[in-house]
Amino acid sequence: TVSTCSASGIYLFNCGSNNLSGNTVSKCGWGIFVDNHSNDNVLTNNATSDNWRGGIILSSFCNRNTLRGNIAANNLRTGITLWDDCNSNTLTGNTVRSNRDHGIWLVRSHLNQVYNNNFISNTTQAVVSQDSSGNIFSFPAPHGGNYWSNWKSPDSNDGGFVGSSYFFRRGQDDLPW
């Protein structure tokens, strides 16, 4: 447990193949900051809340990381951020809730898979910058996309998925829960 710090609660810099699991970070700058060519890391079941910059960030060429089962809630800016050429990462099973700016924000990041996450009551659920490409927010059934608390279109065939796509700034989820 890390609480009340001025910088990042947990900071990985230029390192790979780490497992970061079961941590709680609150009231810091960034909750968990993965930076500068930190590749092939697995972040599972971590909780970040009430951080003034954001919950979890991957920044500067962090590739092939997996974020699974994490909670990013009540952060003053963003729940999860992928910034500056963070490519081929997988985000699944995370809960991103009540963050003030964005639930998830992808900036200059490509080919990331973001599916089976819960985006609940964020000011803006998701934003993908115009200089990002190839990011996937859903897969065909039975995997599907993500849950978006502000999307209530009916499930017309009772298949567990909303009947129409969820659109957000420069992105879409074609098979939302």
Residues of the chain with pLDDT under 70: none
Closest CA to 26 of 43, 8, 45, 13: 8
The confidence score (pLDDT) of residue 159 equals 82
The confidence score (pLDDT) of residue 163 equals 82
Closest CA to 122 of 97, 152, 151: 97
Q: What span, in angstroms and rounded, lies between the C-alpha atoms of 159 and 9?
A: 41
The confidence score (pLDDT) of residue 97 equals 98
Centre a 10 Å sphere on the Cβ of residue 130 and count the other Cβ atoms it contains.
9
Q: What confidence tens digit (pLDDT) does each residue in 8-35 have?
A: 999 999 999 999 999 999 999 999 999 9
The confidence score (pLDDT) of residue 136 equals 98
Residue written as token pair 């279109």: 153
Q: Which segments of 39-175 are extended strands (E)?
A: 42-44, 47-49, 54-59, 66-68, 71-73, 78-83, 90-92, 95-97, 102-107, 113-115, 118-120, 124-128, 147-148, 166-168, 171-173
The confidence score (pLDDT) of residue 36 equals 98
Q: Are 34 and 12 in contact (CB under 8 A)?
A: yes
- pTM as predicted: 0.97
CA-based torsion, 63, 90, 122, 6: positive or negative: negative
